[in-house]
Chain A
Amino acid sequence: MADAAITVEGAEKRYGAKKALDGLDLTVARGTVHGVLGPNGAGKTTLVRVLSTLLRPDAGRIRVAGHDVVREAYAVRLRIGLLGQHAALDEELGGRQNLELFGRLHHLGARRARARADELLERFGLAGTGRKAVRQYSGGMRRRLDLAASLITEPEVLFLDEPTTGLDPRGRAEVWNSVRSLVGAGTTVLLTTQYLEEADQLADRISVVDAGRVIADGTADELKAATGGDRIDVVLRDADRLDAAVALLPLTGITVDADRRLLSAPVTDRMEALSAVVRALEQAGIQAEDVALRRPTLDEVFLHLTGDDTRMKEAA
């Protein structure tokens, strides 16, 4: 793809016997937000470290912003910003001192580094922090400063590695708003996350990663559709009747959540399934509290793709 900001072909990285990246392929179009979704240990952080030149891949052809991450690491570094999993700041210095330091290391020169620091502090709502050391910041403030530090030179490509892990809901909303405002400016963003909601909220396209490779790729809607489209949820009044209902209902692939007295199954024809379920329950005298049709959640998509839903069904 000519206008790709990131292309990864057959990336491999092993640590001893463990393959952190196992032939991973990925393409991210310029000016889009791409979500990389996966559980702990799927290889998300390794991927970000390879893309941001921190880690040398064992194999694969990897280009970021038009340059090879191994042979042209310096050219890549000129064009990227990185927000790692842990705040990469000097904890003893203040917010402005940190941004000035990183500005100077980007060779902006003293005056422009200072001006840029002011600008970013203002933009991320940190202008009032004065000389306070980063050590004394709240989690959300620290993350915003960290994000500001990764934007010193308005990078072409920005990597966000689990940007909201460990933040409270308010801190998470702060970071999400900042990311949304960036996208408008034309930056390409690659975002890793364990939170499906985060990928759904922020990303144009999503790659689902498991065991070091991409197992599915598409928009949130495409991924949801791939899991079988709509679902029907039935909540029973009486948990004792769950087994009877499973045996009776004209549905396949039913999952059971006993705590919530909930049955759930994929459907093809929405209206037919709805009336068939209501009829069957009525005839058997099983009382339902709620019957609803809905689109699958990304959680279900994810479990479906990683094969964990079969395990769930067996357990149920």
Chain B
Amino acid sequence: MSVHALTDSWTMTRRELARWQRQPVQLAVGLVFPVMLLLMFGYLVGGGRGVAGDYRDYLIPGMLALTMAFGLEGTMIAVTQDLDKGVIDRFRSMPMANGAVLVGRSAADMLQSVLTLLVLIAVGAALGWRPGGGPAALLGALGLLLLFRFAMLWIGIHLALVAGRPELVQAVQILVWPVGFLSNAFATPGSMPGWLGTAVEWNPLSHTATAVRHLFGVPGAESGHVGWAFLWPLALLAVFFPLAVRRFARLSR
């Protein structure tokens, strides 16, 4: 069985790529949406309360991290749709490697996240933003962002398997947005009321955003967050990866 684990996972990844090809508009919308958010917050809303220095330098790392958090929704929608259509039943009744369904999902979502990050960075560059720290810092930042996305991905798979139906995705969206905005993506915790600021500082998204700012040389972003940006996603994975795998196996109960 394990002989097929790799080929089956690759086949399932290719299935997702074929879906992109069939729905280029949907893929494009997914890539443009974060750019819109960036432009809105950078130029229209006029955020940046408590931010010293250039707001763009503060905002863009925040947007990169926020986009990774929102990826949770996309993962969850895709998994619930497969469950709802019954196509997962067909996969499960076939002599394929059991985990390939989930591995294919992860690979495709991670690939999409890489694309999203590159588009956001390119748009930032076009607006005149230049990250400090050089190529090594850029790669390190991308690594931390994708690690965070990977944790969100498995939370998304788990929630989808728990919810089981596309209708319940909305309930999660209502929760993801406040968690996304209750972070330091747009404004510093110091500019918020005490308890709110504390919650914002604890948010894993804030740690990843600050770690990326630190790597890009944004003033005021302390290096200690890099460690937290490692530990938080790993801790979330340690909880949600086994939960999701167990939930998937329990589809047969």
Q: Which residues of B1-60 have CB atoms within 8 Å of chain A's CB atoms?
A: 1, 4, 7-8, 11-12, 15, 18-19, 22-23
Is B111 an interface position by the 8 A CB rule?
A: no
Interface contact B95-A88, CB-CB below 8 Å: no
Contact yes or no, B94 A93, CB < 8 A: no
B122 is an interface residue with CB less than 8 A from chain A: no
Q: Could you say which residues of chain B place their CB within 8 Å of the CB of A80?
A: 93
Q: Any chain B CB within 8 A of the CB of A105?
A: yes
CB of A88 within 8 A of CB of B252, answer no
With A86-B85, A107-B96 given, name 15 new contacts (CB 8 A).
A53-B252, A54-B89, A54-B252, A55-B252, A82-B93, A87-B85, A89-B90, A90-B85, A91-B85, A102-B94, A104-B7, A105-B96, A107-B4, A107-B95, A149-B90
Chain B residue numbers with a CB within 8 Å of A107 are 4, 7, 95-96
Choose one: B15, B86, B91; the contact of A93 (CB below 8 Å). Answer: B15
Given A74-B1, A74-B95, A106-B95, the answer on whether A93 and B19 have CB atoms closer than 8 Å is: yes
Known: A104-B11, A107-B7. A90 touches B19 (CB 8 A): yes
CA distance A105 to B90 in the complex (A): 11
Min distance, Cβ A148 to any Cβ of chain B, angstroms: 12
Considering the complex, give the chain A residue whose CB is closest to the CB of B81.
Answer: A91
A133 at the interface (CB under 8 A from B): yes
Q: How far is the CB of B75 from chain A (nearest CB, A)?
A: 16
Question: In B219-253, which residues have CB < 8 Å from any A CB?
Answer: 251-253
- Which one, A56, A90, A149, contacts B253 given CB within 8 A? A56
Q: Max chain A CB contacts within 10 Å: which of B12, B86, B251?
A: B86
Band of interface residues on A: 20 to 34
Rounded to whole Å, the gap between the CB of A316 and the closest CB of chain B is 42
- Is residue B87 contacting chain A, with contact meaning CB distance below 8 A? yes
Q: How many residues of chain B get a CB closer than 8 Å to chain A's CBs?
A: 26
Within 8 A of B (CB), among A132-156: 133, 149-150
A105 closest partner in B (C-beta): B96
B130 cross-chain contacts in A, Cβ below 8 A: none
Report chain A residues within 8 Å CB of B86.
84-88
Q: Judge whether A105 and B11 touch: CB under 8 Å.
A: yes
Q: When A54-B252, A77-B95, A104-B11 are in contact, do A92 and B90 touch as well, CB less than 8 Å?
A: no
Taking the closest CB of chain A, its distance from the CB of B22, in whole angstroms, is: 5
Tell me if A188 counts as interface (CB < 8 A to partner B): no
CB-based contact A84/B22 at 8 Å = no
> Are A101 and B15 closer than 8 Å at their CB atoms?
yes
Question: Which residues from A are CB-within-8-Å of B93?
Answer: 52-54, 77, 80, 82
Within 8 A of B (CB), among A42-90: 52-56, 74, 77-78, 80, 82, 84-90
Shortest Cβ gap from A112 to chain B (Å):
14
State in angstroms the CA–CA spacing of A149 and B94 once bound together: 11
Residue A219 interfacial (CB < 8 Å): no
B90 touching A88, Cβ below 8 Å: yes
A92 touches B19 (CB 8 A): yes
The residues of A that contact B4 with a CB separation of less than 8 Å are: 107
Some 13 contacts from A to B, beta carbons below 8 A apart, are A53-B252, A74-B95, A78-B95, A85-B86, A86-B85, A92-B19, A97-B18, A101-B18, A105-B8, A105-B12, A105-B96, A106-B94, A133-B22
Question: How far is B89's CA from A56's CA once the two chains are assembled, in angstroms?
Answer: 14
> Are A82 and B89 closer than 8 Å at their CB atoms?
yes
- Are A84 and B89 in contact (CB-based, < 8 A)? yes
Q: Closest 5 A-B residue pairs measured CB to CB? A: A88-B90, A77-B95, A88-B86, A86-B86, A105-B96
